[in-house]
Amino acid sequence: MLSEKMQDLMNSQIQAELYSAQLYLAMSVYSESENYKGFANWLKVQYEEETSHAMKFLNYIVERGGTVELQAIEAPPVKFGSMLKVFEEVYAHELKVTALINNLYTVALEQKDYASQIFLQWFIEEQVEEEANSSQIVAQLKMIGDSVGGLFQMDHALGHREK
């Protein structure tokens, strides 16, 4: 059985993952409107991934005999500026998510909730990847600067992301 505190935190995490999904979907639509189809594709795949993160938490709460309480999801922004601005925001957002996951793990340790510790380890590894992926894109966009050719090439490359 999940503790009430852990259940509440995991319900909030579902909300956070679904907000991430909304944010990346909004960024995807924005990128497409700016004619960056490849960036839009990358962000749409990311949106799908965030939805699957929410589902992992949802299924885990159910499996542990807890109660899932879905919460309202905030509306994301509509406009984001340059692709560099978009991905700086992705990276900053992922840092916030990492802090949330780390907090969940701290609580799981405090409560000697071994099952949740094991469950959360997947997310700890996932966040390493999320931070690395987004910070790499930020670094590349900084290298490219205002080069239209560079942006075009990168847009093409990100268009190949499938999952």
CB 92, min distance to Fe ion, A: 14
Cβ proximity to Fe ion: between 17 and 113 the closer is 17
Those residues whose C-beta lies under 8 Å from the C-beta of residue 94, and which sit 6 or more positions away, are 127, 130, 131, 134
- Pairwise CA distance, residues 4 & 60, whole Å: 14
Q: Are 29 and 22 in contact (CB under 8 A)?
A: no
Q: Which residue is nearest to Fe ion (CB)?
A: 53
- Pairwise CA distance, residues 30 & 36, whole Å: 9
Query: Of the listed pieces 49-57, 74-82, 134-142, 151-159, which binds Fe ion according to CB under 5 A?
Result: 49-57
Cβ proximity to Fe ion: between 69 and 125 the closer is 125
44 binds Fe ion (CB under 5 A): no
Query: Angle at CA 74, nearest 5°, toward 23 and 98?
Result: 55
Query: Of the listed pieces 11-19, 98-106, 112-120, 148-156, which binds Fe ion according to CB under 5 A?
Result: 11-19
Cβ proximity to Fe ion: between 12 and 153 the closer is 12
53 binds Fe ion (CB under 5 A): yes
Query: Of the listed pieces 2-10, 29-37, 42-50, 139-147, which binds Fe ion according to CB under 5 A?
Result: 42-50
93 binds Fe ion (CB under 5 A): no
- DSSP H/E element including 96: helix 83-110
The residue among 29, 86, 20, 77 whose CA lies nearest residue 51 is: 20
Q: Which residues bind Fe ion (CB under 5 A)?
A: 17, 50, 53
